[in-house]
Structure 1
């Protein structure tokens, strides 16, 4: 799958906007991203949100990612 990184995360992933990851769940995707780009460890631990086909997931790391899904990784924003 292709994961689009939020602008603030790109410098931590070799300035890439899109990265290819072979994963079936959000948890697996995040693990593989941390393995490939260790600098993403901090932001991922601090909290990220994952958007899959327009639906935002904040803590549902076991969520399955459908084949061909549009996936975005962004820093979690505080709401109020």
Structure 2
């Protein structure tokens, strides 16, 4: 079981939940977790990945303390780690 933490900005895509528990098999990757999320919460899945299945550029996913793009991207093993999803925030003065 993997705990996936969501920001308030994405909670509306999955019924207001700020945490999801995803049941994945041993050796699962980030792609497997996102596949499972898309199965149960298709709107959230579309906000995280594009039509080609790649992570959208404004979405940052942390596996433990490391950003997934600095690891193995969607191929990163997730076993034993919590996941946190954070959309990029733009702004300024």
* Both proteins in one fold, TM over 0.5: yes
Give me the TM-score of the superposition, normalised by structure 2.
0.71
* Cross-structure match for 1:52: 63
Higher Cα radius of gyration: 2
Contact 2:37 2:44 in 1 (8 A): yes
Q: After the TM superposition, which segments of 4 or more aligned residues of structure 1 sit over 4 Å from their partners? A: none
* Cross-structure match for 1:29: 33
Aligned length: 77
What is the root-mean-square deviation in Å for CA atoms of aligned residues?
1.9
Contact 1:33 1:40 in 2 (8 A): yes
* Cross-structure match for 1:66: 79
Unaligned runs of 5+ in 2: 51-55
Give me the TM-score of the superposition, normalised by structure 1.
0.81
